[in-house]
Amino acid sequence: MENRKVLRSGEFLVSEVEAKDVFIPEEFNEEQLMIAQTCRDFLEAEVYPNLEKVEKSDRDLMKSLLKKSGELGMMGISIPEEYGGFGQSFVTQMLVAETTGAGYSFSVAYMAHCGIGTLPIMYYGNEDQRQRYVTRLATGEYLGAYCLTEPGAGSDANSGKTNARLSEDGKHYILNGQKMWITNAGFADTLVVFAKIDNDRVLSAFIVESKYPGVVIGPDEHKMGIKGSSTAQIYFNDVKVPVENLIGKRGEGFRVALSILHMGRIKLGGNVLGAAKKAITDSVKYANERKQFGVLISTFGAIKHKLAEQVIRLLAAESAVYRVSRDIDDLMEKLKVDCGDKGRASIEAISHYAVEAAILKVAGSEMLDFIVDEAVQIHGGMGYSAEMAVERGYRDSRINRIFEGTNEINRILVVDTAMKRAMKGEFSLFPEAEIIYNSAASLPAEKAVAGDYFGEKRAYTRNFRKIILLCIHGAVKKFEKGLVNEQEVLNNIADMMMDLYLAESLMLRIEKREGLKGAASVYHDVLDVCFYDAADRIRKSASDTINSMSAGSDAPVLLRAVETLSSVAGVNVKDSRRRIADKLIEDNQYKF
């Protein structure tokens, strides 16, 4: 492992890294690119020709597609070789998540199997469970599902009523209850089911085979999007689950569920990239074919604005995804040495980056929603027709803001988790925040040496940090323990944290890219517009935070500090966006 600076989760609030310290997509090696191409070829050959049939909730067809992907090795990417997989790095896992993200409903079924359907057993199961189940899940012999949500327990997962009690002979747990919104329910062989043993306060986790007597699968739900994904309720009526199918320890299920959700959030952050790239390519191809008033609509400034904004938002999200993915890889390697268990080391490393996982989930899902909405608009009336791919992409995108914990829950987690990590002493947040707050009246904005392009952007990120720290200290001072109930304020702070992390990640990527490939002015255009807009959003969020605190005599001082710190150089956003769009239009596909 090369010597590089790696931040702990949330530490980006008080520390920075250099461009050399981050991984960027331009560094994918030949093997990684070949794996991605295999996934791309699979979508072209097997998924896209069958999309209309898949959309009609054809369980058998989706099952056969998943099995074929397993035969190609696509299901074993994240599974160690000793369990029949390929033991690829987390960065590679994220690249596969991205590439398959262009697969509409198939992507949902595939990711559910490879992630939440398989990895709880891989990460938390014992050696016997891994040999019995993971080896089969890694090849697609078995297909997996994950059963956490109940009719009365969504975001509050621990309030579930599904119950397990030990049989009189001590050989089985007798499982009773109901789960809903279960992806892959219609054809899954193994179910990771969460239930409370007796009157336990917290959940335990079990491996349940769908063929066990008493397991009843309901009909597929009718959904707005991802129609090809089998989503159904599952009922457990006195199901006898062998005691050796308890995952981990009794009462460890809630920890398993939370950890797997962190993993799911990060993977979703990668998955939406592929869907976004597909939508952008669909957008520009249509704009380069459609004529109005005798000219191609791709020549219109309004269309160029839309195309450029799609690119800017995607590049920022993509940069953040692979930045943290490499950090996770490094921590995984360290923990494998420390604990010796690949499964536990992997999930501990992923779980550590819970702040970034929530950021990627929220920012990624909202980025994709913006891009598919604009894709429909670029297509005009045709975009509303079911004949066009963007119509499907628009509907399918909407679930991502609900999946893996709603964006409302995740925004709160961004701030709450960072503060809790800081309270444990993982990084120095509160002392730094207090210093910034107390010096607000005379706080100077950082400035770069004239002509230092990336130095200027780095100075902006330092100023953005100061704004966030100022707001965090002010909010803690004002609301104290009641801050948890001030969700609007937490949302403001979360939005600023997301803007900082994405803008900084994009800056580091473009700086490193120039070192590898040389300067390209269009990437400066992307970065200029990103920072210009981020500064505006951060100023608004910070002002809202300060005014929500009713800070009295402090408010004018704090607001002046925010105004100073959020000031950035003016950008000719019209020309910058036109240059970005022109590259996309010339390439006639997303090739950034």
User: pLDDT per residue over 227-265, tens digit each?
Assistant: 999 999 999 999 999 999 999 999 999 999 999 999 999
The C-alpha atoms of residue 461 and residue 502 are separated, in whole angstroms, by 10
> How do beta strands 190-197 and 163-166 pair?
parallel
- pLDDT, residue 518, reads 87
Per cent of the chain over pLDDT 90 is 90
Give per-residue pLDDT as tens, 281-331.
999 999 999 999 999 999 999 999 999 999 999 999 999 999 999 999 999
Give per-residue pLDDT as tens, 25-57.
999 999 999 999 999 999 999 999 999 999 888
pLDDT above 90 for 337? no
- pLDDT, residue 324, reads 97
Give per-residue pLDDT as tens, 409-460.
999 999 999 999 999 999 999 999 999 999 998 988 888 888 899 999 999 9
pLDDT above 80 for 551? no
- pLDDT, residue 349, reads 93
pLDDT band (50, 70, 90) for residue 1? very low
Give the 3-state secondary structure of residue 166: strand
What's the mean pLDDT in 547-576?
Answer: 91
The C-alpha atoms of residue 200 and residue 9 are separated, in whole angstroms, by 31
pLDDT above 50 for 565? yes
pLDDT above 60 for 155? yes
User: How many CA atoms, within 13 angstroms, populate the side-chain half-sphere of residue 164?
Assistant: 28
Residue type, 476: V
pLDDT above 90 for 154? no
pLDDT above 90 for 461? yes
Chain-centroid distance of CA 7 in Å reads 19
Residue type, 12: F
pLDDT band (50, 70, 90) for residue 209? very high
The C-alpha atoms of residue 584 and residue 589 are separated, in whole angstroms, by 6
Closest to 108 measured CA to CA, from 340, 398, 315, 312: 398
Phi, psi of 175 (to 5 degrees): -100, 130
Lowest-pLDDT range, 272-281, 332-341, 389-398? 332-341
Composition of the chain by helix, strand, coil, percent to 5:
65, 10, 25
Residue type, 444: P
E strand spans, 271-342: 291-292, 295-296
pLDDT above 70 for 164? yes
pLDDT above 80 for 2? no
The domains found in the chain, sorted by start residue, are 1-421 (1.20.140.10), 429-587 (1.20.140.10)
Contacts (Cβ under 8 Å, ≥6 apart) of 148: 157, 160, 179, 194, 257
Give per-residue pLDDT as tens, 342-381.
888 999 999 999 999 999 999 999 999 999 999 999 999 9
Q: 404 catalytic, yes or no?
A: yes
What's the mean pLDDT in 57-80?
Answer: 94
What's the mean pLDDT in 382-406?
Answer: 94
What's the mean pLDDT in 380-392?
Answer: 94
What's the mean pLDDT in 68-91?
Answer: 95
Residue type, 69: S
**Token pair of 474 as six digits:** 């002010």
Q: Are 386 and 361 in contact (CB under 8 A)?
A: no
The C-alpha atoms of residue 402 and residue 198 are separated, in whole angstroms, by 31
pLDDT above 60 for 11? yes
- pLDDT, residue 341, reads 81
Output the pTM of the full model. 0.96
pLDDT above 90 for 538? yes
Q: Among all chains, which residue has been given the structure tokens 């109901």?
A: 178
Contacts (Cβ under 8 Å, ≥6 apart) of 98: 36, 270, 271, 273, 274, 277, 318, 321
Q: Are 475 and 545 in contact (CB under 8 A)?
A: yes
DSSP per residue, 519-548? --HHHHHHHHHHHHHHHHHHHHHHHHHHHH
Query: 150, 309, 391, 404: which is the annotated catalytic residue?
Result: 404
Contacts (Cβ under 8 Å, ≥6 apart) of 389: 278, 282
